[in-house]
Each structure stands twice: as C-alpha cells, then as structure tokens.
Amino acid sequence: MIDLLSLVIVSLAVWRISNMLADEEQEGLFNSLDWIRYKVGVRYDANSVPVIKPGSIASGILCMWCNSIWIGILFTVALLCNQEATVIASLPFALSAITIMIEDWRNNENKA
C-alpha cells in the first residue's frame, strides 16, 4: 500500500514534470524538453509560438491536463514496481514543485 507521504511526493513530481513539458519555455537540461517536444511534433514559429504538426500527439504534450494522465500512469506503474526507488527519484521534482509554489505565493503577496 502507498503511504500518504509517498503519494504527496509523487503527485508533486507528476505535476512538475507535466508542467515542464506543457508550459515551460526553457529548454531544460541539455535541451531535453525541446527534443521531446520536437519528437512528438511541436514546432515553433518566428515568435516562439508553438505550431502543432498535423496528425501528431503534440497537442497532448502541450496540454498539462492530458500529459499528466500519461505521466501519472507511468509513475503509478513505477510505484507498484518499487515504491522506495520511485519516491526517491520523484523527490527532486517534488521539491522543485514546492519551491515554485512558494515563489508564486510570495510574488502574489508582494503584489497585494
């Protein structure tokens, strides 16, 4: 059975990875995010606006709600195979997610 802390850590990791794939303009480590987007059919115009290749799964990768389902399935399988290793691998993404949430909260407090 999955304990609550593991569920929270993995959930934050799934959110962070989904968000990185769908919304972040940065290329990621060694341009890995651009490479993944390119492989599934995402192209960018001169204004850096995503252009989706017809007949590709690109629209799914640019939709956080869509890609989080598939990423969640992968993490669920990983949890069932080896809970401890999955939680440890998820921890950096979960910590990043919490840091982003704190920074967003702090920025919103400063605007008020």
The phi and psi torsions of 42 (rounded to 5 degrees) equal: -85, 125
Task: Report the predicted TM-score, pTM, of the whole model to 2 decimal places.
Answer: 0.85
pLDDT at 27: 65
Token pair 């920074």: residue? 103
Q: Domain extents for the chain?
A: 4-107
Condensed to tens digits (0 to 9), the pLDDT of residues 45-65 reads: 888 888 887 777 888 888 899
Task: Quote the CA–CA distance of 21 and 55 in Å, as a whole number.
Answer: 19
Task: Quote the CA–CA distance of 49 and 67 in Å, as a whole number.
Answer: 19
Q: Where are the alpha helices (DSSP H) in the chain?
A: 4-23, 32-39, 58-61, 64-81, 83-111
